[in-house]
Chain A
Amino acid sequence: MISDLSRHLQQLNVAADWIGLRANREVVRNRSVRDGIPTDNGTQLNQGVMLEVLVNGQIGYAATNSFRLEDLRAAATAAQQRAIAASEWNLYQTPLSARPKVVGYYATPVEKAFDALSPGEINALLIKVCQHLKVSDQIVQASASALLTETESWFVSTNGSEVHQKFFRIGTDFAATAQEGNLVQRRSDNGWFARCYQGGLEYFLTDDLWSRVETIGAQAVELLSAEECPEDTTTLVLAPDQMLLQIHESVGHPLELDRILGDERNYAGGSFVNLEDFGNLTYGSKLMNITFDPTVSSEFASYAFDDTGAPATREHLIQEGVLKRGLGSLESQARLGVPGVACSRASSWNRAPIDRMANLNLEPGDTNMETMIGNIDHGIYMEANRSWSIDDQRHKFQFSCEYAKLIENGKLTKTIRNPNYRGITPEFWSNLVMLGDRSTWKMYGTPNCGKGEPNQCITVGHGSPVAAFANVEVFGGAA
């Protein structure tokens, strides 16, 4: 493919300062079962080419789902025309350094290939998962899904870039809904499609698969007779499967440089973080160390190069609570004058790359789970995200979880249903008082981080230990 694209690139006949071709081919296999009945068995082949043309400091793009030379030529001409028409109204002069020359290859390590199980065998396993989820007649819905994605991308440019990356991604989602009269509770496998990884079927056929599934069903039923979450201001301990959302919404998005530059103000929003905050802002307590790390093996959004060809490296965004750098592409870094990372990503061939998260992790502390709970006289422990909402500056948030336990006198005690909490980002992270050690650190991900105009959904990975926050408002359900 690289040689085909390079040959086409030579034959475009468009006058430009720079041209890049990024081809994508993605095959997504969806398998879903609900209550033992197949609900989704499909394969999505999505492929095409994005052409970027730099003229007079303005990039114009055109994307086509055809690989024929004549269609690529037409797209190149269209991209050039878009660039010329916009160059008079250019927000900033895009330098060629925003599209560096890079040559390289990346492939996801896979232990058990996707074709080790046939579609029929995957369906049989999902049906069995549903059967194991249905631990009682109170389970009114049991669902199981697997999402297997193979993505290849190729990038060539007139300044000599040749990048080929191949990703294998797997996500699974199992859930049980329990009902007793007008009371409904749902429990899932660490939250909706939280178990997302790069790799193969080894992330489906895990040793703990059946014990996890049975716990989901049992806890859905357990929640029906649990007490409502109390209204209180207390110490909140969050499991890694809720921390993934907490990191994503209240650290990842506010640190995106394009939000700070104002590009996203009309849709996703801006940020409470300002230019002068880099290097100065105390974002959280000294326990808080956040890394952008696309090098973690098997984490959902690992890669070697972003979609403009920038080489991806591990970087501290927040170190001992202080903001050091943002999530911004080479373009955004040049516009804002602050350090960023290799995070210019596009959801597919038909969208232009923008500043995105990839793997964004909270590094572990040194407290084990037993010690952490033992140090809390009164508090609440919450697991698995259920609902999320945060303002357009990423300041005031309200999140809810599926499952919680009271912490009383250093012990986890009663199960609690409908646990919610709310807070304001800097205050919340400043109240990070204990951080779990490596033994509590787990990584998850999501396939659905939405942003951008036109809109784009991308994959992100988040790893975190268990974390304890002081003085958090918690509350329950009911109208």
Chain B
Amino acid sequence: MLELSFNQLVDFLNDNTPADAAFTINLTAENSQFIRFNQAKVRQTGQVQNGVVRLTYMQHQRSGYWEFPLTGDLDVDRQAAAFALDNLKQEVPTLPEDPYLVLPQGNATSREIHAGDLLEMDQVEATLLPRVLDLDFAGIYAAGQILRGYADSAGQKHWFSTDSFSLDYSVFTPDGQAVKGTLAGNHWKPRVYDRKIQESRIQLARLSRPTKTLRRGQYRTYFEPAALAEISYMLSWEGVSEACFQQGSSCFAAMRRGERQLSPKFYLQENFSHGLVPRFNEFGEVAPNQLPIIAQGKLNHLLVSSKTAQEYKIDANGANETETLRAPEIGTGDLSIEDVFQTLDTGLYISNLHYLNWSDQPTGRITGMTRYACFWVEDGEIVAPIENLRFDESLYNFWGDKLIALTDTQEFIPDVASYGNRALGGVWTPGMLVDEFSYTL
């Protein structure tokens, strides 16, 4: 129904946009079920049906946008579009010129539908909870259809639909130590859920040992893929953006100036070939399937949107307007999972990180906390869980001289964020072993 209504808007806007003007429309929509859990019981349960269209109107080097609900009711949605268009026709001529305005061009079209096999809404509790009744289980199950759409006055049109679920949970010991688990996909597989819970039970047993308090200092550290994924999110915060470099805030400026480089073992790319997120952006452009950002420790590309490309007279590379990673992938190394503890020898095993922020952005220094199942390891054996530690360390160290190894396999860490709407995609990443990682509190 929403696709029908979306297509109707495209026709309406084409019929009512003057020849000297242009438009784009972007749709974000979902029909989602959410269940929150605490103590292996239901804390909140419900569902959300939402659709939002952003109509951007461009005329005489000026632009503005209106967002309005897309309900699936043809009359209501057409009236909303007409109201938005009328307002934009009045407002846009009063705005200043934007010399770097990106006008739609080309005639690319795409339509991707990922049908899923999700749990029946009424069966979620009865499927999930009996297996964890003896655990202090908390978290959220989210599932349903997610839509993204794009169309413009030049004739480009893209549609992306996926049925997906995510289960993001934690299980706790009586004294508050916890193990984190995340499942996501298009098809619910009971055996995968059972295996994941079983893995969590094993980790939970390890946490029952007395906690070790460590003094601040530098420790050899192994980071599980989930912890490395958390670090990778920082790169979209004024890291990999060409505009941020040009305007003074990128953490990779020192690499761009040729003053620093990372370990030749480190590789970061955008990789859309997994098909989890749309390749089209809000300009209707389709990103290349793969784009290396850092290869063999050297900065290869920053993300360049068409807007930035116009401003700084360089080539765009399919980036979105905010120049953030949409399909990040960190390359594998040569450390086998079986050898992680032996190679770590003595140090910290970190499963997750929490609440990261820049402590000194130009030098790539990041602070944050360890979280969930983190252990002190001696001679390749787990000795005890640790009290959470604050770290403060530069990426030029842990991805530079201090990087010992990356594991030879990757995990997919789904993005389970749902601010405004459910996120798509996630991070493909291996685990990472580093030396002399700094813990400060």
Contacts and interface: CB of A to CB of B under 8 A. Distances in A.
A479 B46 contact: no
Interface in A51-77: 58-66, 68, 71, 75
Interface string B103-143: 00000000000000000011011100100000010111010
A186 interface: yes
Contacts of A85: 45, 121-122, 124-125
B121 A82 contact: yes
Given A61-B46, A85-B121, A261-B38, A45 B67 contact: yes
Contacts of B56: 42
A392 B177 CA distance: 12
A389 B46 CA distance: 31
Contacts of B36: 263, 453
Interface in A423-472: 424, 450, 453-457
Contacts of A388: 357
Contacts of B390: 389, 391, 396, 398, 422
Contacts of A457: 419-420
Interface residues of B, number: 100
Interface in B159-177: 168-170, 172, 176
Given A46-B67, A391-B355, A352 B46 contact: yes
Interface stretch (A264-272, A304-312, A320-328): A264-272
Given A352-B44, A420-B359, A42 B247 contact: no
A191 to B, nearest CB: 13
A6 interface: no
Nearest to A473: B441
Given A44-B67, A455-B419, A478-B363, A390 B355 contact: yes
A350 B169 contact: no
Instruction: With a 10 A CB-CB cut-off, give which of A33, A43, A118, A454 has the most chain B CB atoms.
Output: A454
Contacts of A422: 390, 440-441
Contacts of A59: 44-45
Interface in B295-350: none
A398 B170 contact: no
B210 interface: no
Contact of A43 (B66, B94, B364): B66
* SS of B interface (majority): strand
A418 B360 contact: yes
A91 interface: yes
A455 B355 contact: no
B125 A182 contact: no
Interface stretch (A119-127, A204-212, A362-370): A119-127
A450 B44 CA distance: 18
Given A270-B176, A479-B365, A91 B94 contact: no
A141 B243 CA distance: 11
A323 B153 CA distance: 60
A58 B392 contact: no
Contact of B42 (A58, A71, A78, A456): A58
B49 A454 contact: no
Interface string A351-394: 11000000000000000000000000000000000011111110
A90 interface: yes
A45 B83 CA distance: 11
A41 B138 contact: no
A182 B253 contact: yes
A388 B354 CA distance: 12
A113 interface: no
B95 interface: yes
A45 B52 CA distance: 9
A454 B418 contact: yes
Contacts of A78: 47
A398 B138 contact: no
A79 B360 contact: no
A177 B64 contact: no
A398 B359 contact: yes
A279 interface: no
B257 interface: yes
A263 B69 contact: no
Given A66-B73, A418-B360, A119 B95 contact: yes
B122 A81 contact: yes
B299 to A, nearest CB: 15
Contacts of B261: none
Contacts of B35: 86
Given A68-B76, A390-B369, 18 more contacts: A42-B56, A42-B65, A45-B84, A61-B44, A61-B46, A81-B122, A120-B95, A120-B96, A123-B95, A123-B96, A262-B38, A262-B39, A263-B38, A387-B358, A392-B371, A456-B419, A477-B360, A479-B394
23 contacts: A37-B99, A45-B84, A46-B67, A59-B45, A71-B71, A81-B121, A82-B46, A83-B45, A85-B122, A86-B125, A123-B96, A140-B248, A184-B253, A265-B172, A266-B168, A389-B359, A389-B390, A391-B390, A453-B418, A454-B140, A455-B418, A478-B360, A479-B364
For the complex of A and B, list the 6 residue pairs with the smallest distance between their C-beta atoms, beginning with the closest: A61-B46, A120-B94, A477-B360, A479-B394, A454-B418, A453-B140
Interface of B: 32-36, 38-39, 41-52, 54, 56, 62-73, 76, 80, 84, 87, 91-92, 94-100, 121-122, 124-126, 129, 136, 138-140, 142, 168-170, 172, 176, 178, 180, 247-249, 253-254, 257, 259, 354-365, 367-369, 371, 388, 390, 392, 394, 396-397, 417-420, 422, 440-441
